[in-house]
C-alpha cells in the first residue's frame, strides 16, 4: 500500500478487513517521511527499524485474534514524550544527547493499543513558542505554504499530519500548543480537560497548564485516539480517576437545540477580517444543523495573556532548574568549578526564548515580587475560570476562532515576542481554566488554513467531539490536502 491519505478510522477498518497489513502502511509512511516530507523538518528522530518491528508484531496480533481497533495504525509522538531507548530532546540542545530510560504514560497507552510509532516530531524548545521557530533543530515549515510557520509548539506533529507523513500524532497544549498549530495546518486537534490524560513522562513546561492530546485529520480520529490515551495514572498526582467514555461511539448525537455561546471578546479588534468571514460561514453551517447561538461575555479575556505569561514562566523556571549539566543532558566543556558548570551548561544548552521565560519566571517568584506578580496572576486566573463557569450555566459549548490570523511567515515575528504571544489570544484562557477545547479546519484565508475552536465544560470531550464530527459530516475542509502533498 502506497496511499497515505487515509484517516485513522479508515486505516483501522482496512487493517481489520485485511485489505492491507500494518507493515505495508508503515513502510509507506516511512518512505513518505524520507521523500516528500524531508524538506518540512517535521521530525527530529525517525524510528524506522523499530516501527517496522512493531508493525510486524501488530500484524501477528491481528492474525492471532488479539487486536484492538487501533492495532497496527501508525502515529508520531511529539518529542516531549519520553520514549524508552529513543532520543527525547524537547527540541533543545540541552537534551540533544538524552535517551529516555522509560516510556511516558501516553506512549505506553498507545503501545498497549498496538499503535506503531514512526518517530518523534519537531517542536518549539521545551514547548515554548507559537511558531516552531525556537527548536534547536530549526523551524518546521507549513505544508500549505513552506514560507509560513506551522504554529507551535506542536508544529512538527501538525505539519506531519497535514502533509500525510503520519495519520495522527500526539501533542501537548500549555497555552494552545495543540489547537493553534492544528488551526494553522488545517487539521483537527483536541486539548482534553486538565487531568484527563496523564502527564507522567511528558517533560514539564508549566505543570498546572500542560496537557497531552491527539492531533489527526478528523474529530472521529481524535475520538479514537483519546480513548487510547486517556485514563487514570497513579504516577501523576493530577491525573483524574474517572472512567473513559467510548468517545468514538458517541458521535451520532443530533445538534438540534444545542446552545452555543459566541463570546463578544473573540470577535472584536485583533481578529483578521478574513478569519472572521470563515468563522461566520461556519456559524451558518452550525445553524443549519439546528444549533442555537447566544452572545455571551467572557469579560476577563484580556487578562488571559498577561496572567499566562506570569504563571507559565514561573512554573517553567521551577521545572527547568533540574537541567544543570550535572545528572543528564548537555554539559559545557572543561568547567572551572561548579558555578561555571551551572552557568555555562544552562547558558549554552538553552535557547533565547527559554532563557527569557526562565528569567521572567524567576523574577515573578522572587521574594519582593511574588505577591505583586505571581499571586495576582493566580487571582486573575480564577476570574477567568469564573467567567467560563457563568457562561456554561447558559450554554453547552463556546465557539470562536482558534487563532486571530492564519499562519504568518517564518521570521515575521521573531523579533517581536509580544506579537508572537498574542498568537494564542483565544486559546490561553482555556488552559488557565483547565477546560477542554478542540480546533477543526473551517476554511482558508489567503490560501492558508483557518481553524474553528469549540470549548466545552469539564470532561465534556464527548459533546465537543460530536459537535466537531457533525460539522465535518457536512463540510469537506478536513479532507483538503496541501497541493504538494495531496
The active-site residue out of 6, 22, 78, 157 is: 78
Give the H/E segment covering residue 60.
Answer: helix 48-63
153 has catalytic annotation = yes
Gap between the Cα atoms of 424 and 173, Å rounded: 11
Give the H/E segment covering residue 119.
Answer: strand 116-121
**188-191: strand order across its sheet:** 43-46, 116-121, 74-78, 168-172, 212-216, 188-191, 437-445, 448-455, 397-401, 259-263, 292-296
3-class SS at 218? coil
The active-site residue out of 89, 153, 317, 439 is: 153
Angle at 137 between CA 131 and CA 142, to 5 degrees: 40
Gap between the Cα atoms of 128 and 423, Å rounded: 13
* Diameter over CA atoms, the chain: 70
C-alpha cell of residue 142: 507549513
Gap between the Cα atoms of 5 and 88, Å rounded: 28
385 has catalytic annotation = no
372 phi/psi in degrees, rounded to 5: -70, -30
Supply the DSSP string of 356-389, one letter for each residue.
Answer: HHHHHHHHHHSTTTIIIIIIHHHHHHHHHHHHHH
Gap between the Cα atoms of 255 and 289, Å rounded: 6
453 phi/psi in degrees, rounded to 5: -105, 135
C-alpha cell of residue 339: 558555578
The active-site residue out of 177, 248, 317, 423 is: 177
The residue with cell 482558534 is: 402
**DSSP state for residue 142 in the 8-state scheme:** B
Which residues are known catalytic residues? 78, 153, 177
Amino acid at each position: 500500500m502506497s496511499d497515505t491519505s487515509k484517516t485513522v478510522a479508515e486505516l483501522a477498518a482496512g487493517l481489520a478487513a485485511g485489505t492491507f497489513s500494518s507493515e505495508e502502511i508503515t513502510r509507506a509512511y516511512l518512505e513518505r517521511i524520507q521523500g516528500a516530507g524531508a524538506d518540512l523538518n517535521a521530525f527530529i528522530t525517525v524510528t524506522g527499524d523499530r516501527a517496522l518491528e512493531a508493525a510486524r508484531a501488530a500484524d501477528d496480533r491481528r492474525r492471532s485474534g488479539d487486536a484492538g481497533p487501533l492495532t497496527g495504525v501508525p502515529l508520531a509522538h511529539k518529542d516531549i514524550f519520553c520514549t524508552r531507548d529513543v532520543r527525547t530532546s524537547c527540541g533543545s540542545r540541552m537534551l540533544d544527547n538524552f535517551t529516555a530510560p522509560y516510556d511516558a504514560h501516553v506512549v505506553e497507552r498507545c503501545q498497549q493499543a498496538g499503535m506503531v510509532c514512526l518517530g518523534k516530531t519537531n517542536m518549539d524548545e521545551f514547548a515554548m513558542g507559537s511558531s516552531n521557530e525556537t527548536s534547536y533543530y530549526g523551524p518546521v515549515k507549513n505544508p500549505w505554504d513552506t514560507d509560513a510557520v506551522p504554529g507551535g509548539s506542536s508544529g512538527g506533529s501538525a505539519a506531519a499530519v497535514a502533509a500525510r507523513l503520519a495519520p495522527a500524532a500526539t501533542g501537548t497544549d500549555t497555552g494552545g500548543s495543540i489547537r493553534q498549530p492544528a488551526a494553522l495546518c488545517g487539521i483537527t486537534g483536541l486539548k482534553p480537560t486538565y487531568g484527563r490524560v496523564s502527564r507522567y513522562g511528558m517533560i514539564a513546561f508549566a505543570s498546572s497548564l500542560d496537557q497531552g492530546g491527539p492531533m489527526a485529520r478528523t474529530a472521529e480520529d481524535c475520538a479514537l485516539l483519546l480513548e487510547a490515551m486517556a485514563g487514570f495514572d497513579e504516577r501523576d498526582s493530577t491525573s483524574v480517576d474517572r472512567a473513559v467514555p467510548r468517545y468514538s461511539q458517541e458521535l451520532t448525537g443530533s445538534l438540534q437545540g444545542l446552545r452555543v455561546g459566541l463570546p463578544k471578546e473573540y470577535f472584536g479588534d485583533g481578529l483578521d477580517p478574513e478569519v472572521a468571514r470563515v468563522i461566520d460561514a461556519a456559524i451558518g453551517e452550525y445553524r443549519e444543523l439546528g444549533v442555537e447561538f447566544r452572545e455571551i461575555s467572557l469579560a476577563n479575556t484580556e487578562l488571559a495573556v498577561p496572567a499566562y505569561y506570569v504563571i507559565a514562566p514561573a512554573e517553567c523556571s521551577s521545572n527547568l532548574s533540574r537541567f544543570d549539566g550535572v545528572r543528564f543532558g548537555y554539559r559545557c566543556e572543561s568547567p572551572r568549578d561548579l558555578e561555571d558548570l551551572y552557568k555555562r551548561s544552562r547558558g549554552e544548552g538553552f535557547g533565547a526564548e527559554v532563557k527569557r521565560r526562565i528569567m521572567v519566571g524567576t523574577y515573578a517568584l522572587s521574594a519582593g515580587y511574588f505577591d505583586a506578580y505571581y499571586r495576582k496572576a493566580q487571582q486573575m486566573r480564577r476570574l477567568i475560570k469564573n467567567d467560563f463557569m457563568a457562561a456554561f450555566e447558559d450554554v453547552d459549548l463556546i465557539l470562536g476562532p482558534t487563532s486571530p490570523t492564519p499562519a504568518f511567515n517564518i521570521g515575521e515575528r521573531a523579533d517581536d515576542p509580544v506579537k508572537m504571544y498574542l498568537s494564542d489570544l483565544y486559546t490561553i484562557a482555556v488552559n488557565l481554566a483547565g477546560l477542554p477545547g478542540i480546533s477543526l479546519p473551517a476554511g482558508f484565508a489567503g490560501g492558508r488554513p483557518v481553524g474553528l475552536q469549540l470549548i466545552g465544560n469539564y470532561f465534556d470531550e464527548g459533546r465537543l467531539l460530536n459537535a466537531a464530527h457533525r460539522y465535518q459530516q457536512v463540510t469537506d475542509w478536513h479532507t483538503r490536502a496541501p497541493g504538494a502533498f495531496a
